[in-house]
Homo-oligomer: A and B are copies of this chain.
Amino acid sequence: MTAAFPLTITLPVAAAPPSLGDNTADLDRLKAACAAALPPELAGSPLRVPFARMASLAAQFRAAGFKGWALAHNLPGQIELIDFLPEEPQQLPGIALDLGSTHLEASLIDLRSGRTLARRTALNQQVEYGADILTRIYFAAKEESLRQLQQAAVDSINGLTAQLCREAAVLPEAIRAVVIAGNTTMAHLLLGLSAYHLCREPYTPLFNAADPFLAAAIGLRLHPQAMTWLLPSRGSYFGGDLIAGILAVGLDRTEQPAMLIDVGTNAEVVIGGGDWLIACAGAAGPALEGGVARMGMRAAPGAIEQVSIDRENWRLTWRSIADAPPVGICGSGLIDFAAELYLARIIDLRGKFQAEFPGQNAAQRQFVQERLLRRGDETAFLLTEGVSVNQTDLDAMMRSKAAMYAILETLTAQVGLSFGELERIHVAGAFGEHISPRQAITLGMLPDLPLERFQPAGNTSLAGAELLLRDSGCWEQAKAVCRRITYLELNVNQDFMIRFSGSRFIPHTDPGRFPSVSVFR
């Protein structure tokens, strides 16, 4: 275990003042003092001073009597001196950011103590130019539009940074490092780079791994020498957010095979088995993330996240996030609800509403009659005043759950594993936080494994960005992960299509795979 050094480091430096016997120049004196102050793990790294900082560094070092604290970027293969302070800095704030297509989430972290000073989310202002990524890619075809999208992302980050700074009483100019994890399209748009080829066969990004660059180069309002580190991507559909996730849950270092599931616009899944990593992504997410279901919404206050139907007394209860007045249903709520509907036999194994079925009792019949309403051509189940779920919503959910299971199955089969061999299944994001694995198993969306194997992992994209901010060693680790990952393309995968068809039943065409789930014929 080697020591971890953050992306920007502080070096206590002290040098003898110049004399006739040693009139080494101020900057060269500073460099020598910094070289002497480097920890053993970084010793011998070449020290650079960016042109723009030569005058101020020399002046500050001299003014401080040739001793104080140097701040330096811990870049790959070199140390770049960017600042000098006469007193030991109490804090050295940095930003870790998950740049999502809809939301940003960021932490303000003190690189000296490792402490999180503040954490917040904000909307991605790019949404104004298109809710989904494909719309933005098409929009970005014009240079001017690309600039607008870039500016929207930059504005979003600047706004969120300003909020974090206010909260922690830190000046944005004090921030000298920012780590950003986002999907490949977000990364391209943030850098103002063409995303044209991302969505066109053979889905080639303009870049996978960007070298660290000045935050000012894209208009981030931080310290003028603040460096931006962008988590590298594996491909058009496997971005830096996922690479960050792999680092965050340690999938590249696991001894037993484990899985990471990240459901966003796509469902992205990785299995790591110690010396290998395999990944794929597929369109399983929309219905689960509020993108398709009519009443769907993101997991946010007022979203119904949990539903239960008491099948003795035929009463329905629900809970909304933050106990706020209900305004819609989030992905995990929909899964919960659909599982309850299935167990109450209000939907059949195809996910279709059924008002009646053989052997139905009177209480169930009355319950259904009160809530299953016909509206025009559509049947909808009334969850509570103003929130209902109709057949279209359920159909979308069924496609998503089928896609999810087919993805998991295809990927696992690809490496010759059974689900049972997965020691742990990390479920990232709001989906992982809110979903009930039990209900997802009931629907046949997640494999029928002991519940303790499912682990909510939180925002793994942000967590990975935080890791890198605190430990520069993660930079090479992230690049190594990119090189190691085998990416399985599902678009052209016949097995996936067959598995998808087999998964469009509750729990599955082959119920033997779900021994814990009741099957109603």
Contact = CB atoms under 8 A, between A and B. Distances in A.
Interface of A: 18-20, 23-28, 46, 48-52, 54-55, 58-59, 76-78, 191-194, 197, 201-211, 213-214, 217, 233, 235-236, 489, 492
Contacts of A18: 202, 204
Nearest to A18: B204
Given A18-B202, A23-B203, A214-B51, A28 B209 contact: yes
B217 A26 contact: no
Given A19-B202, A20-B202, A77-B77, A54 B193 contact: yes
A419 to B, nearest CB: 28
Contacts of A25: 204-208, 233, 235
A207 B28 contact: yes
Contacts of A202: 18-20, 23
Given A46-B77, A204-B18, A194 B23 contact: no
A196 B204 CA distance: 54
A27 B197 CA distance: 13
B208 A27 contact: yes
Number of copies of this protein chain within its complex: 2
A331 B77 CA distance: 51
Contact of A28 (B19, B26, B77, B208): B208
A186 to B, nearest CB: 15
A133 to B, nearest CB: 17
A387 B129 CA distance: 80
A211 B23 contact: no
B193 A55 contact: yes
Nearest to A232: B28
10 closest A-B pairs by beta carbon, nearest first, are: A51-B213, A25-B205, A18-B204, A27-B207, A25-B208, A28-B208, A20-B202, A58-B206, A23-B202, A23-B204
A207 B51 CA distance: 11
Given A25-B206, A27-B206, A54-B210, 12 more contacts: A18-B202, A18-B204, A20-B492, A23-B204, A25-B204, A25-B208, A25-B233, A51-B214, A51-B217, A54-B207, A55-B206, A58-B206
Give the dominant DSSP class at A's interface. Answer: loop
Contacts of A52: 217
Given A18-B202, A51-B217, A76-B46, A58 B207 contact: yes
Nearest to A217: B51
Contact of A191 (B54, B76, B206, B207): B54
Nearest to A236: B23
8 contacts: A25-B233, A46-B77, A50-B213, A52-B217, A54-B191, A54-B207, A55-B194, A78-B78
Contacts of A27: 206-208
Contact of A206 (B26, B51, B77, B236): B26
Nearest to A193: B55
A203 B194 CA distance: 52
A517 B339 CA distance: 114
A211 B209 CA distance: 25
Contact of A489 (B20, B28, B193, B492): B20
A58 to B, nearest CB: 5
A211 B197 CA distance: 37
Contacts of A213: 50-51
B77 A26 contact: no
A466 B18 CA distance: 33
| Chain B CB within 10 A, most for which of A52, A202, A236 | A202
A198 to B, nearest CB: 10
Name, among A25, A203, A213, the residue most crowded by chain B CB atoms within 10 Å (CB to CB): A25
A335 B194 CA distance: 68
A205 B51 contact: no
Q: A23, A48, A208, A210 — which one has the most chain B CB atoms within 10 A of its CB?
A: A23
A193 to B, nearest CB: 5
A28 B48 CA distance: 25
Contacts of A201: 20
A58 B492 CA distance: 27
A158 to B, nearest CB: 18
A104 to B, nearest CB: 21
A28 B207 CA distance: 6
Contacts of A20: 201-203, 489, 492
Contacts of A235: 23, 25
Contacts of A214: 51
Contacts of A50: 211, 213
**Which has the most chain B C-beta neighbours within 10 Å: A26, A28, A204, A217?**
A204
